[in-house]
Amino acid sequence: MDQYTGRILADVRFADYSIYGQGMAVGIAFHEGDMGWWNVILNTVFCLSVIFISVSGAVMWWKRRPSKAGRLAAPPMPRDMPLWQGAALVGLAVSLAFPLAGLTLLAVMALDVLILSRIPAMRRILT
């Protein structure tokens, strides 16, 4: 639409979009809850499940933490870790698919190696 005359310059409808454009248009409406009451309920359940997972993770850690150890670390690592290579491959795949996630993983590892492991008080609390 021309902003000065009000004349319609182009008429582009949903059917004119590519499959990717249609998917994006539907995804935006779904994300915003514009598809009816069921969509709002589904989005609310999803948000509540994220909150529940976050809170239950903290509760589970609190129950399994070393008692009176004065540290934040997880329980001691088991002697045999048969699945660590698979977890490393998953981390690599996620890093390749989502480069910012990989950059975040590298930043956390650099923070741990270069700073946190060199401060005795931090090393004691976090290990």
Mean pLDDT of 37-64: 93
- Answer yes or no: is pLDDT of 69 > 70: no
Compute the Cα dihedral for 96, 98, 100, 103 and give only its sign.
negative
Residues 2 and 56 in one domain: yes
Cα(58)–Cα(102) distance, integer angstroms: 24
Are residues 44 and 7 part of one domain? yes
Q: Is residue 125 part of a domain?
A: yes
Stretch among 30-34, 44-48, 76-80 having the lowest mean pLDDT: 76-80
Q: Is 89 within a domain?
A: yes
Is residue 69 one of the residues assigned to a domain?
A: no
- Asked which of 64, 92, 118 is the last residue of a domain, the reply is 64
| DSSP one-letter string for 8-61 | ------GGGS-HHHHHHHHHHHHHHTTT-HHHHHHHHHHHHHHHHHHHHHHHHH
Say what the pLDDT of residue 93 is. 95
Specify if 38 maps to a domain: yes
Using alpha carbons only, give the angle 58, 59, 64 rounded to the nearest 5 degrees.
100
In a domain, 20, yes or no: yes
Structural domain total, the chain: 2
End-to-end CA distance of the chain: 63
DSSP string for residues in 60-111: HHHHHSPTT----PPSPPPS--TTHHHHHHHHHHHHHHSHHHHHHHHHHHHH
Same structural domain, 44 and 93: no
Query: What 3-state DSSP class applies to 19?
Result: helix
Could you tell me the residue range of the domain that residue 5 belongs to?
A: 1-64
pTM listed for this prediction:
0.52
Q: Are residues 37 and 80 in the same domain?
A: no
